[in-house]
């Protein structure tokens, strides 16, 4: 197994929401937007939610009772893509949408998920010396090293 990169949760929204909605100059401006995240806990780890993000941003009076809570990160991200919410999303899962301009990152602050939930390349040890596996492993590790954090 090779650790490729950490899992980082970031706020994202559509460019249209950013252009037409209330401005997002500081974290407290998010109070005027619909916020979406997922509700997930396993092995004593809770996936970052808006309360956690706001606390990390120095906002201590956030009321999370008005957030949209989804069962999957795909649904939360789709709400952002549709222009309906600012969502907390896994950077690796939305990197293409960010680079293509379908989503924007209104704030740089991201929350790292517990290390055991990082992205790993895993393969059977019996094939580690196979030239195809070695070539793929080397390529993937190089590509992962280019991933911004």
Q: Tell me how crowded residue 4 is: count the other CB atoms within 10 A of its CB.
A: 16
Instruction: Catalogue the E-assigned strands of the chain.
Output: 2-5, 8-12, 35-38, 41-42, 45-46, 68-70, 86-90, 111-112, 119-121
Is 148 a residue whose pLDDT tops 80? no
Cβ neighbours for 104, distance < 8 A, ≥ 6 positions apart: 12, 13, 14, 15, 18, 98
Q: What is the pLDDT of residues 7-35, one digit of tens each?
A: 899 999 999 999 998 999 999 999 999 99
Q: 14 and 81 in contact (C-beta within 8 Å)?
A: yes
- Helix or strand (DSSP H, E) at 76: helix 73-81
Q: What is the pLDDT of residues 64-106, one digit of tens each?
A: 888 999 999 999 999 999 999 999 999 989 999 999 999 999 9
Domain assignments of the chain as residue spans, ordered by start: 8-113
Q: What is the pLDDT of residues 53-62, one digit of tens each?
A: 999 999 999 9
Pick left, alpha or beta for residue 98 (phi over 0 → left; psi -120 to 50 → alpha; otherwise beta): alpha
* CATH number, span 8-113: 3.40.190.10
pLDDT at 104: 98
Instruction: Measure the CA–CA gap between 124 and 86, rounded to whole angstroms.
Output: 40
Instruction: Measure the CA–CA gap between 136 and 107, rounded to whole angstroms.
Output: 34
pLDDT at 75: 96
Q: Please, which pLDDT band fits residue 149 given cuts at 50, 70 and 90?
A: low
User: Which two structure tokens, joined as six digits, stand for 17?
Assistant: 């929401």
DSSP 113: P
pLDDT at 116: 79
pTM for this structure? Answer: 0.83
């Amino acid at each position: 197994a090779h650790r490729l990169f950490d899992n980082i949760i970031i706020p994202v929204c559509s460019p249209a929401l950013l252009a037409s909605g209330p401005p997002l100059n500081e974290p407290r401006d998010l109070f005027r937007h619909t916020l979406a995240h997922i509700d997930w806990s396993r092995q004593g780890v809770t996936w970052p939610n808006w309360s956690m993000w706001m606390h990390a941003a120095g906002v201590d009076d956030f009321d999370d009772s008005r957030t949209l809570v989804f069962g999957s990160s795909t649904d939360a991200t789709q709400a952002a893509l549709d222009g309906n919410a600012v969502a907390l999303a896994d950077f690796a899962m939305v990197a293409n949408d960010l680079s293509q301009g379908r989503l924007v990152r209104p704030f740089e602050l991201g929350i790292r998920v517990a290390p055991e939930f990082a992205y790993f390349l895993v393969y059977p040890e019996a094939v580690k010396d196979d030239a195809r596996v070695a070539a793929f492993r080397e390529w993937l590790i190089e590509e992962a090293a280019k991933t911004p954090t």
